[in-house]
Structure 1
Amino acid sequence: MDLLPALDPQNMAKVAMSPQRHRRCLFSSTIVDLKRDATLRVFHATIAYDAAMMQTILVARCGPRLASLACTMNGFDPSDPIAIAMVN
């Protein structure tokens, strides 16, 4: 699988050196996908420069349909039921 342009190591290095993006922070996402015969629960956390980069990483890892279901926040909420179930 080819990397998305935003995840290409050379592009990541350019972004990292950009004066506008000098600080990375923690983003976390939860995804709940209810199907007729199963429920998929996903917790994902990453360090990124902004929410757009986090979304790009989610699309690369989960695909566009699941990424569109994500509830993403800056930081981590330890009281989130999905986070409790997946992290503990």
Structure 2
Amino acid sequence: MAVVSSNIKVMENIALKSSNSYGIQVTVTCSNIQLTDNDVDGMTGKVLLPSEAGFDGMYLTSANGSKYKVTVSNNGQFIVSLVQ
């Protein structure tokens, strides 16, 4: 995704052993891009998603209606953040 894409979900894609640098690449000029449940691979890495552009994870909502963003750290731990 390039230029000024915004408010997009990229989900459930399979792209293995791609000749591209990344399986999914998002530029820093994009905003609110959510990646989830993708199985991709590239020559340089799986995903290039600048933190300013979005995140690779999911949203969950609790029984009381609070919305949380769930991601995974580099050491495999879940990171849960309340969305305001």
TM range, smaller chain: under 0.3
TM-score relative to the length of structure 1: 0.21
Higher relative contact order (CA 8 A, sep 6+): 1
Q: Which has the larger radius of gyration?
A: 1
Structure (1/2) with the larger strand percentage: 2
